[in-house]
């Protein structure tokens, strides 16, 4: 009796099966990314780079050498020849990363329904629907190349490594980014606020590094909500102070005040009226001030919405922990951006498997299992759904297809 947990193709091809041929063909044609390439087409570059970031290869040489272990496993996706290091390097340098960016967003749209409500389902404090809440922040990826301008002062020796900043927008009920902007680490976060395409009726949460009152005025006029921290040096006038019957304050901790305040705006006589909620964190004892244009939620809900913003750090940690972002296979502008977009595609693919497993295993465990079993023909979805291995699953004669009995063919 053979194992029923075998698939018709290795795990690497099972991962690639989540990238529909019609989608990548459409994007490639639209970007004309194969126009000047005879051997290493866009799809082949995607496959080997995806293998490299999942396998956490430490160099381009390591990536190309390790791909030998795949042997003929990629024949299932039409690849029968491994690329030379120089060929893959040239593709990373010269092929526009836009094709992988568009592929990411196309896959995101394709799996939109599958990815919905992967994580948090409940409303914040029973009144703020998580599917209407968005959070964004940035993470800086340090580069040894100075192709992107690094942030901060010059060190003592007078040289500074480059850095790329990824501005990332996430829904509260997902760890798959809806919008990403890549740029210099030295670029001001406030610029991102004006570039962000927002939706009426949604609420956006971000830290005080993004504070821009002109954008706040436009959002308020357009019916777009936000919650953020107030800068310490902010100047305002208190217009109205709410009564404290709805305050959740115990022993001087919790909501301390709920006010309507006015900020001065350049070129505006009326200024901008916003809500200011002051909160004392029971854990740290710090007094935090949140500014928002949402007037209906309870003050504690406003504080809890901002507190849940920190879940975005889980996403950044997940990304850097599971995929290769410590080393870049190219020091060119396009090569660096290509690798980041392919990491985003990998994160999306594994998020789908994570959902299909109903979170029986952690995201990190799922990626680790795939990394160690790229060439295995075991059905990946079935294995990660297993709570424990039964006796037949631990019998190697049934798991592995063999030509000879194990007792005859070994070296021991």
Measuring CA to CA, how many Å separate 36 from each of 43, 82, 99? 14, 19, 14
Q: Which residues contact 83 (CB under 8 A, 6 or more apart)?
A: 39, 40, 44, 48, 64, 67, 91
Predicted confidence at residue 34, as pLDDT, reads 94
pLDDT surpasses 60 at 251 = no
Q: Which residues contact 134 (CB under 8 A, 6 or more apart)?
A: 169, 170, 171, 172, 178, 202, 203, 204, 205
Structure tokens at 381: 């979805």
**In this predicted model, what pLDDT tens digit does every residue of 87-145 receive, in sequence order?**
999 999 999 999 999 999 999 999 988 776 554 457 888 899 988 999 999 888 876 55
Average pLDDT of span 19-40: 94
Task: Identify the pLDDT of residue 281.
Answer: 87
Report yes or no: 92 and 338 within 8 Å, Cβ to Cβ. Answer: yes
235 contacts: CB under 8 Å, gap ≥ 6? 263, 264
Residue 199 in contact with residue 131, Cβ under 8 Å? no
Question: What's the pLDDT band for 412 if we cut at 50, 70, 90?
Answer: very low
**Does residue 141 contact residue 325 with C-beta atoms inside 8 Å?**
yes
- Range in 210-219, 265-274, 349-358, 387-396 with the lowest mean pLDDT: 387-396
Rg (CA), the chain: 25
Q: What is the number of other CB atoms lying within 10 angstroms of the CB of residue 103?
A: 25
Cα separation, 248 vs 259, in Å, equals 15
Give the tens place of pLDDT for each residue, 180-197. 998 877 676 777 787 788
Domains of the chain are 11-103+329-399 (no CATH), 126-315 (3.90.350.10)
pLDDT tens for each residue of 210-235:
988 999 999 999 999 999 999 888 89
């Amino acid at each position: 009796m053979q194992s029923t947990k075998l698939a018709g193709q290795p795990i690497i091809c099972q991962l690639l099966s989540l990238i529909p041929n019609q989608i990548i063909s459409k994007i490639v044609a639209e970007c004309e990314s194969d126009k000047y390439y005879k051997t290493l087409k866009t799809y082949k570059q995607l496959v080997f780079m995806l293998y490299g970031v999942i396998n956490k290869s430490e160099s381009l040489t390591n990536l190309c050498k390790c791909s030998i272990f795949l042997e003929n496993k990629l024949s299932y996706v039409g690849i029968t020849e491994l690329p030379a290091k120089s060929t893959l390097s040239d593709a990373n340098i010269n092929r526009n990363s836009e094709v992988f960016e568009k592929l990411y967003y196309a896959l995101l749209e394709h799996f939109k329904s599958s990815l919905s409500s992967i994580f948090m389902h409940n409303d914040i404090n029973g009144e703020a629907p998580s599917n209407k809440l968005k959070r964004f922040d940035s993470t800086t990826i340090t580069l040894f190349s100075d192709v992107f301008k690094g942030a901060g002062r010059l060190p003592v020796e007078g040289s500074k490594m480059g850095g790329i900043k990824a501005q990332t927008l996430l829904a509260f009920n997902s760890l798959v980014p809806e919008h990403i902007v890549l740029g210099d680490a030295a670029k001001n976060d406030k610029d991102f606020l004006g570039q962000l395409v927002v939706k009426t009726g949604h609420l956006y949460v971000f830290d005080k590094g993004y504070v821009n009152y002109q954008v706040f005025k436009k959002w308020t006029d357009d019916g777009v909500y936000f919650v953020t921290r107030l800068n310490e040096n902010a100047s305002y006038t208190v217009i109205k102070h709410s009564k404290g019957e709805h305050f959740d304050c115990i022993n001087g901790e919790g909501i301390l005040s709920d006010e309507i305040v006015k900020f001065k705006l350049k070129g505006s006589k009326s200024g901008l009226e916003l809500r200011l909620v002051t909160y004392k964190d029971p854990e740290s004892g710090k007094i935090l001030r949140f500014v928002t244009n949402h007037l209906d939620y309870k003050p504690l809900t406003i504080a809890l919405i901002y507190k849940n913003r920190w879940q975005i750090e889980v996403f950044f940690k997940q990304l850097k922990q599971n995929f290769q972002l410590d080393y870049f296979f190219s020091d060119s502008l396009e090569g660096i951006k290509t690798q980041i977009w392919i990491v985003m595609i990998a994160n999306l693919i594994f998020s789908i498997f994570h959902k299909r497993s109903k979170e029986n295993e952690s995201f990190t465990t799922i990626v680790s299992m795939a990394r160690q079993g790229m060439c295995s023909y075991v059905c990946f979805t079935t294995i990660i759904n297993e709570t424990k291995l039964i006796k037949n699953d631990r019998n190697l004669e049934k798991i592995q297809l063999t030509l000879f009995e194990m007792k005859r063919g070994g070296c021991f």
